[in-house]
C-alpha cells in the first residue's frame, strides 16, 4: 500500500499540470526507469516521516540540494556546490543523526557586566562530520569561494584532513562492510545554517543519482 501511494504521488508531481511541471524531483525524467524507481523509494521513506511531527532532512544529490522538511513540506533549502561519496548503494533507507554538530562556544568573560549573549547562528561550526545510525558519515565542508587566502587555505586543509581520516579508517575496515560516506561542499553561511537546523536523532533520507 505504501509503495502504491508513493507511485500515485510521484505521478502527480511529475505530470505536467496547466503547462507547468512541478519540481518536486528536479532532473527526473519520466523515461528514466531507474530514476523513477529511486524517486519512488524516496517518496516511500518521506511518507513515513511526514506522518510524524518531527522535522527531517532530504539530501537530494540529483537536484543538488539539502532540504529541511516537516510533514512533507519544505521549510529550508540549501544548495550543494559539489559532492562526492562512497558506497552509494548503501545510501538508502532512513538514517538517524547520532548527534548534532558541537557548538563553538564563546569564552565567558567573568568581569563582564550583565548577561552573556545567547548562542547564535554565528557560533555554529562551518565544517563538521555527522555520524548516523545505521552507520553512515557525512562530512560538511565549506566552500573557499569568496574567502581570503589564509582562511581558504585553512578550509582546504580541513577538507584534506577529512579525506585522510576516512581513507585511514577504511584501511582497517573490512571492504565488505565499508561505512557509507558523503562529503558535501556548501557555502560557509549555509554550513552554519545547516548545523543550526539539526537536532539529535533527526531522520535523514538521501536521493541517489542513477548515472554516477
pLDDT in tens, 135-159: 999 999 998 755 555 555 555 565 5
Cβ–Cβ under 8 Å, residues 101 and 136: no
pLDDT level of residue 15 (50, 70, 90 thresholds): very low
Average pLDDT over residues 113-118: 67
Give the pLDDT score at 21.
39
Q: For residue 165, is pLDDT > 90?
A: no
**38-62 tens-digit pLDDT:** 999 999 999 999 999 999 999 999 9
The answer to pTM > 0.85 is no
- Complete domains list, the chain, with CATH: 2-15+23-104+121-207 (2.40.440.10)
Instruction: Give the pLDDT confidence score for residue 194 in this predicted structure.
Output: 97
Gyration radius of the chain over CA positions: 19
The pLDDT assigned to 28 comes to 82
Question: What contacts 24+ positions apart, CB below 8 Å, involve 22-28?
Answer: 25/60, 25/62, 25/63, 25/207, 26/60, 26/62, 26/63, 26/65, 27/62, 27/63, 28/62
Q: Which residue has the higher pLDDT, 176 or 48?
A: 48
pLDDT at 20: 41
Amino acid at each position: 500500500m505504501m509503495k502504491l501511494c508513493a507511485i500515485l504521488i510521484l505521478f502527480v508531481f511529475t505530470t505536467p499540470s496547466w503547462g507547468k511541471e512541478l519540481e518536486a524531483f528536479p532532473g527526473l525524467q519520466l523515461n528514466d526507469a531507474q530514476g523513477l524507481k529511486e524517486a519512488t523509494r524516496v517518496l516511500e521513506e518521506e511518507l513515513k516521516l511526514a506522518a510524524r511531527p518531527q522535522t527531517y532532512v532530504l539530501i537530494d544529490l540529483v537536484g543538488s540540494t539539502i532540504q529541511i522538511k516537516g510533514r512533507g513540506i519544505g521549510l529550508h533549502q540549501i544548495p550543494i556546490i559539489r559532492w562526492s561519496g562512497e558506497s552509494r548503494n548503501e545510501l538508502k533507507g532512513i538514517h538517524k543523526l547520532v548527534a548534532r554538530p558541537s557548538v563553538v562556544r564563546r569564552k565567558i568573560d567573568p568581569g563582564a557586566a550583565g548577561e552573556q549573549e545567547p548562542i547564535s547562528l554565528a557560533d555554529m561550526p562551518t565544517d563538521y562530520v555527522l555520524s548516523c545510525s545505521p552507520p553512515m558519515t557525512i562530512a560538511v565542508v565549506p566552500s573557499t569561494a569568496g574567502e581570503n587566502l589564509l582562511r581558504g587555505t585553512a578550509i582546504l586543509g580541513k577538507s584534506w584532513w577529512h579525506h585522510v581520516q576516512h581513507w585511514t579508517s577504511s584501511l582497517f575496515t573490512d571492504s565488505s562492510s565499508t561505512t557509507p560516506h558523503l562529503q558535501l561542499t556548501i557555502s560557509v553561511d549555509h554550513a552554519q545554517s545547516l548545523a543550526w537546523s539539526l537536532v539529535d536523532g533527526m531522520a535523514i533520507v538521501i536521493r541517489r543519482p542513477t548515472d554516477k
